[in-house]
């Protein structure tokens, strides 16, 4: 007996699909735009007239001395961090998502210029190059969009399949219905594998190429298309009769 055999279980699956689309909508309409607004607020923030004594909406630049520098090549995973000490002696333990263009050029005791906003060290600069820290503001935008695409794709398939089944609830579910429901689950795994692929490619591609929603979308669409083709081919195969016992 399958999930679509009973109306009650079909309705529960339908509600699950609606929930997935709802979460995707929230991610795309609330979380990602909020991160975009944060980034815009930082970009248009004025310079502080004096060093703020508390987290402020203005940007303040300060000189830091770098020490305890940890770095690994871009194609490897590992600790990328440094301790930045300001003029007052306060130590800022700072992480980085990439090796360059500043971190991999630093030596013990080098001076860097850090930009502080809302109490966070957002980026550092040295010798004309600028690098974002682990406090970069738009980190949540692309992951939110990626997850929204995965959930929306799978959820819409679930909703369509369940609505199709409920319209024909007096008849037994067809192979196409069952295959489409399986395809919706496959979309979730395709999204997970696509995210892993982007994660791996980040080690070999430039940051501008690897940190993009469109790279993920291209991989995910290709994986989803392949799953769809496989599903359609499977449907065209004649059903193998069961072996009588």
**Where are the chain's structural domains?**
3-35+139-236, 45-132
> Tell me, what's the pLDDT at 14?
93
Neighbours of 224 (CB within 10 A): 21
> Tell me, what's the pLDDT at 245?
37
Whole-angstrom distance, CA of residue 113 vs CA of residue 108: 15
User: What are the start-end ranges of the H helices in 168-202?
Assistant: 175-201
Residue with structure tokens 């508390």? 54
User: What are the start-end ranges of the H helices in 125-167?
Assistant: 141-167
All residue ranges of the chain with pLDDT < 50 are: 243-245
Residue with structure tokens 């392949």? 226
Whole-angstrom distance, CA of residue 128 vs CA of residue 205: 23
> Tell me, what's the pLDDT at 211?
59
Q: What pTM was computed for the model? A: 0.63
Instruction: Look up residue 40 and give its two tokens.
Output: 């815009």
> Tell me, what's the pLDDT at 210?
55
Q: Which class for 162: exposed (0-12), middle (13-18), buried (19 or more C-beta within 10 A)? A: buried
> Tell me, what's the pLDDT at 186?
93
Whole-angstrom distance, CA of residue 123 vs CA of residue 127: 14
Name, in order, each residue with C-beta under 8 angstroms of 86's C-beta and a sequence gap of 6 or more: 62, 63, 64, 92, 114
**45-132: CATH topology:** OB fold (Dihydrolipoamide Acetyltransferase, E2P) (2.40.50)
């Amino acid at each position: 007996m399958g999930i679509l055999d009973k109306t009650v279980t079909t309705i529960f699956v339908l509600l699950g699909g609606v929930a997935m689309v709802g979460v995707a909508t929230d991610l795309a309409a609330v979380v990602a735009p909020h991160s975009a607004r944060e980034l815009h607020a930082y970009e248009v923030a004025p310079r502080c007239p004096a060093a703020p004594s508390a987290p402020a909406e203005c940007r303040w630049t300060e000189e830091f001395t770098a020490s305890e520098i940890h770095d690994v090549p871009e194609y490897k995973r590992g600790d990328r961090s440094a301790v930045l000490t300001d003029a007052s002696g306060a130590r800022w333990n700072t992480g980085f998502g990439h090796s360059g263009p500043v971190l991999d050029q630093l030596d013990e005791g080098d001076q860097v210029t850090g930009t502080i906003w809302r109490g966070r060290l957002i980026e550092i600069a040295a010798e004309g190059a600028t690098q974002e820290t682990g406090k970069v503001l738009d980190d949540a935008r692309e992951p939110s969009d990626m997850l929204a695409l995965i959930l929306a794709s799978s959820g819409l398939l679930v909703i369509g399949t369940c609505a199709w089944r409920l319209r024909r609830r007096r008849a037994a579910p067809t192979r196409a219905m069952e295959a489409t429901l399986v395809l919706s689950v496959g979309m979730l795994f395709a999204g997970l594998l696509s995210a892993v692929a982007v994660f791996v490619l980040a080690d070999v591609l430039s940051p501008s190429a690897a940190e993009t929603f469109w790279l993920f979308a291209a991989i995910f669409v290709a994986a989803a298309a392949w799953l769809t083709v496989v599903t359609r081919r499977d449907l065209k195969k004649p059903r193998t009769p069961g072996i009588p016992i």
